[in-house]
Amino acid sequence: MSHVFISYVRDDQEIVDFLCDELRSHGIEIWLDRDSIKPGLRWRSAIRKAITEGTFFIACFSRSYNERNRTYMNEEITTAIDELRTHSSDTAWFIPVLITEASVPDLEIGAGATLKDIQQVELYKNWDEGMRRIIQTISPAGKQFSARRYRIGNVQSDVYMDILGGGDHYFDRSNLKFEYKHEWSSLPEPIEKDRVSRIANMEREAKDKGQIFFNGPAISLRSFDLNVIQSMNGKEEKKITLHLRPTCWHDFALANRNIDEKILVGKSYKTIKEEYADENNLVTTRNVDWIQLTNILTVSIVMLTRDNWTLLGRRTKRVDNASDVFTASAAENIHRWKDEPSNFDNPWSLPKEFSKGGSNVTWDYKPSACPNPFFTVLRGIREEVAGEVAQAATVDDIKFLSLAWNFANFQPHLYAFLKVDMRQNEIERILSASRGDDSWETNLVPVAFEPSGQLKNYLKNEKWAEVSKGAILRSLVHVHGYEEVNKALL
């Protein structure tokens, strides 16, 4: 259940309604006792459940609250304090809001702290500033920061979009940062059990099919920060930080192979997916650090020429279970050793793979720096399109439009938009002479980058990799604007 619980006394109903209306206008779901308890339910149990399952608890303190000797709000606060003790001390959950001049009760919340030690919002002093602070805490970018299935016109992509980047905002070198922590995270116990034998079975199956099971070191997206700051001109700016950790293909394959396995949780059975990566939590938390299944961060790339053409990929019959499926121009997974800068002090230095010609990788390999998503884009163009095209682009040409999450296999995708200073006929000449090493994966289809005509026909009538469809839709909005694209795709 994704909601904010509002606790208040009846005397303050009018001002609380005003507060709730403004929160709802920012796409925030509110739980109010008088609106949310269905007839026939036991109201005490319903309130307790709503508090413990809420994403935030707002306590509206006022003069009326202070003057009352008895109010059910006290029982709600007691329940909320019990729940608060289960949360990390550096994570906001209980938000004291002063809707009139009032005092917060000096109730113990654990570790020697009381409710008075929690930062308050004095809404009665400055309503606009107070609401801004509340909304930034609950939903840091307001309407633009939401996890939702992406749909434009009559075309829907089965991925969660706008986790990062709403509207037409994008992230480049100046406002996208990344941190790497070399800390291996084990998988949940139901997947870790019989690990050695399960991996051996996967490798044996691959060998029997004549396939290579690559188990190199890849990157897991552990969490991200949406840092909203106020710039000198008074406008809000977003500074995104991605927190990356190591993972491997064995873990990724194990997690995806066993997600529908039933396990006992308490007194009932759940699938591993439901227990460790329930997609409803994405909407609730708007973050990814609660996902305990291994994910691999992938970059989906939409490339645009000077004369407004793009290249779509169309999977060949050599790609298992996906022949004839349409994709974006290229896609690459971030690898520790392929996308790590060669110079620790310069994150924009050439990756080690470029400067040293690759390296042998072992499990105790310790990177000297942080893998760089911008390099991944250039590597993807080099390997799946052509090396000469990749050489015509730089990291300054790359814009990340969104982070989208594909829950079919728990894989996050950074949507990269790349303008290449070449015309379509130049690129076709290059492709006919020499394609990248991974050209066997896709045939490349040139198409005018307009939300109508041939591209519209492809989006509506062809089979797509859902993350690639999302990348195309998001890039169309970036180039042509939401209204034009929405109207064209209706």
- Residue 463 is predicted with a pLDDT of 94
Please determine, for residue 74, whether its predicted confidence score (pLDDT) is greater than 80.
Answer: yes
Is the pLDDT confidence value at 366 over 80?
Answer: no
Q: What is the pLDDT of residue 189?
A: 87
Q: Is the pLDDT of residue 168 over 70?
A: no
* Residue 367, phi then psi, degrees to nearest 5: -65, 150
CB of 151 closer than 8 Å to CB of 456: no
Percentage of the residues of the chain whose pLDDT score is greater than 70: 91
* Residue 100, H or E segment: none
Q: What is the pLDDT at residue 356?
A: 58
Pairing of strands 94-98, 121-122: parallel
Q: Pick the more confident residue, 289 or 315.
A: 315
pTM recorded for the entire structure = 0.71
Angle at the Cα of 10 from the Cα atoms of 4 and 12, rounded to 5 degrees: 80
Mean of pLDDT values over 383-388: 94
Confidence band (pLDDT; 50, 70, 90) for 141?
very low
Least confident among 213-222, 244-253, 306-315: 213-222
| Confidence at residue 170, expressed as pLDDT on a 0 to 100 scale | 87
Q: Is the pLDDT of residue 421 over 60?
A: yes
Sketch out the chain's domains with CATH numbers: 4-139 (3.40.50.10140), 144-488 (3.90.79.10)
pLDDT of residue 351: 86
pLDDT recorded at residue 95: 95
Give the pLDDT confidence score for residue 359 in this predicted structure: 53
* Mean pLDDT along residues 468-490: 93
Q: What is the pLDDT of residue 360?
A: 58
pLDDT band at 234 (very low <50, low <70, confident <90, very high): low
Instruction: Give the model's confidence band at 235: pLDDT under 50 very low, under 70 low, under 90 confident, else very high.
Output: low
Query: What CA–CA distance (Å, rounded) separates 407 from 405?
Result: 6
The pair of three-digit structure tokens given for residue 174, joined into one six-digit string: 């100046």
What's the one-letter identity of residue 221?
L
Helix (H) or strand (E) holding 254: helix 249-257
What's the pLDDT score for residue 1? 44
The better pLDDT of the pair 167, 17 is held by 17
Phi then psi for residue 89, to 5 deg, are -70, -15
**For a pLDDT cut of 90, what percent of the chain falls above it?**
43
Q: Is it the case that residue 367 has pLDDT exceeding 80? A: no
Token pair in block for residue 388:
């000469």
Per-residue pLDDT at 146: 61
- Using 50, 70 and 90 to split pLDDT, how confident is the model at 364? low
472 pLDDT more than 90: yes
pLDDT at 401: 93
| pLDDT score for 193 | 85
- Give the model's confidence band at 115: pLDDT under 50 very low, under 70 low, under 90 confident, else very high: very high
- Check pLDDT > 50 for residue 143: no
Q: In the prediction, which pLDDT does 488 show?
A: 95
Indicate the pLDDT class of residue 167, thresholds 50, 70 and 90: low
Please name the residue that has the structure tokens 């106020």.
230
> Out of 35-44, 51-60, 302-311, which region has the weakest mean confidence (pLDDT)?
35-44
Least confident among 51-55, 166-170, 425-429: 166-170
What is the reported pLDDT for 311? 97
- Report the pLDDT averaged over residues 278-283: 79
Question: Residues 187-194: contacts with CB within 8 Å, 24+ apart?
Answer: 187/251, 187/254, 187/255, 187/292, 187/293, 187/294, 188/272, 188/275, 188/276, 188/292, 188/293, 190/258, 190/261, 190/263, 190/272, 191/254, 191/255, 191/258, 191/272, 191/293
What is the chain's mean pLDDT, rounded?
86
Average pLDDT (35-41) is 81
145 pLDDT tier (thresholds 50, 70, 90): very low
End-to-end CA distance of the chain: 31
Model confidence at 142, pLDDT cuts 50, 70, 90, reads very low
Average confidence (pLDDT) over 55-59: 93
Q: What is the pLDDT of residue 385?
A: 95
Helix 13-24 with 127-138: angle, nearest 10 deg = 50
Report whether pLDDT(400) > 60.
yes
Report long-range pairs for 221-224 (Cβ below 8 Å, ≥24 apart).
Answer: 221/288, 221/295, 221/297, 221/403, 221/412, 222/181, 222/185, 222/288, 222/289, 223/287, 223/288, 223/289, 224/163, 224/164, 224/287, 224/288, 224/403
The Cα–Cα gap between 312 and 302 comes to 8
